[in-house]
Amino acid sequence: MRERLLRAGPEALADYELLEMVLYIALPRRDTKALSRALLARFGSFAGTLAAAPNDLRGIEGMGESGTATVKIVHAAALRLARAELTGRPLLSNWDRLMDYLNAVLARERVEQFRVLFLDNRNHLLADELQGRGTVNHTPVYPREVVRRALELQATAVILVHNHPSGDPSPSSEDVAMTREVRDAARTLGIALHDHVIVGNGRWVSLRREGLID
């Protein structure tokens, strides 16, 4: 498998083979083939395994701390690579790449996360920060804190992002009301709210494109 990977690239390996090689780094004396198949059966895919919560990974017999940490290291590396692809690019003209990144970060989360992308005056990404983590269907959001952090970073614009663990990204009335509160608070200090994106399972909704914010 190692020779195939180096000769022909990762596309030459099946998901279970790639996962088997990842696990072998942490568990060189274990049957990582059986373990990789167990993980794929439990989490549905290679991506689903990487995004799984540490406690869920530990629940698979044979994973332990080493196997779990190795999977999460690969997941973190994948997300950092995806975020690096956005660095130095104006986000509003690289929307598809931004959505790929946001889906990778949020689509498989089992509780709501509220994130803010802080942008400079060229719409380049200054920071992507987790502002709050909630329950399966609610995350508290404080417009004053969003604006305060934007001022600290000298951001001139923000994009709000959160996920719906149900998989349905349709905005609720509370989502719309909160978005308008952040917009109004930011506008008073000259900070633009470009959009609020809600991520579901493989789908997303832009409140601006839906005409719910101006």
Instruction: Give domain status of residue 212, yes or no.
Output: no
Domain boundary among the residues 81, 112, 142 is at: 81
Helix, strand, coil shares of the chain as percentages rounded to 5? 50, 15, 35
Per-residue pLDDT at 3: 87
pLDDT tens-digit map of 142-190: 899 999 999 999 999 999 999 999 999 999 999 999 999 999 999 999 9
CATH number at residue 188: 3.40.140.10
Least confident among 26-35, 60-69, 199-208: 26-35
Where residue 7 falls among pLDDT bands split at 50, 70, 90? Answer: confident
The total of other beta-carbon atoms located within 10 Å of residue 67's CB is 23
Instruction: Give domain status of residue 178, yes or no.
Output: yes
How many folded domains does the chain comprise?
A: 2
Are 103 and 195 in a shared domain?
yes
Buried b (16+ CB within 10 A) or exposed e, 132-147: beeeeeebebebeebb
DSSP helix/strand/coil, 176: helix
Per-residue pLDDT at 135: 61
pLDDT tens-digit map of 113-153: 999 999 999 999 999 999 988 765 566 788 999 999 999 99
Domain boundary among the residues 46, 81, 116 is at: 81
DSSP helix/strand/coil, 214: coil
Distance between CA 113 and CA 105 in Å, rounded? 10
Are 45 and 27 in a shared domain?
yes
Are 100 and 68 in a shared domain?
no
Between 117 and 108, name the one with better pLDDT: 117
Look up the domain containing 29 and give its range. 2-81
Are 153 and 182 in a shared domain?
yes
Domain boundary among the residues 81, 108, 132 is at: 81
Q: What mean pLDDT comes out for the span 12-25?
A: 92
Are 198 and 114 in a shared domain?
yes
> Who's near 23: CB < 8 A, 6+ residues apart?
30, 32, 35, 36, 67, 70, 71
Q: What mean pLDDT comes out for the span 53-73?
A: 94
Instruction: Give domain status of residue 139, yes or no.
Output: yes
Contacts by residues 202-205 (CB-CB < 8 Å, ≥ 24 positions apart): 202/103, 202/107, 202/167, 203/167, 203/168, 203/169, 204/99, 204/102, 204/103, 204/169, 205/169, 205/170, 205/171
Instruction: Give domain status of residue 105, yes or no.
Output: yes
Are 104 and 42 in a shared domain?
no
Where residue 213 falls among pLDDT bands split at 50, 70, 90? Answer: very high
Are 22 and 117 in a shared domain?
no
Least confident among 10-19, 75-84, 138-147, 152-161: 138-147
Instruction: Give domain status of residue 211, yes or no.
Output: no
Mean pLDDT of all residues in the chain?
A: 91
Per-residue pLDDT at 139: 65
CB 163 within 8 A of CB 51: no
Instruction: Give domain status of residue 214, yes or no.
Output: no
CATH number at residue 34: 1.10.150
Distance between CA 143 and CA 83 in Å, rounded? 25
Are 33 and 133 in a shared domain?
no
Are 77 and 95 in a shared domain?
no
Distance between CA 214 and CA 205 in Å, rounded? 15
In 3D, which of 187, 47, 178 has the Cα closest to residue 112? 178
Are 202 and 177 in a shared domain?
yes
Are 99 and 194 in a shared domain?
yes
The pTM assigned to this predicted structure is: 0.84
Instruction: Give domain status of residue 96, yes or no.
Output: yes
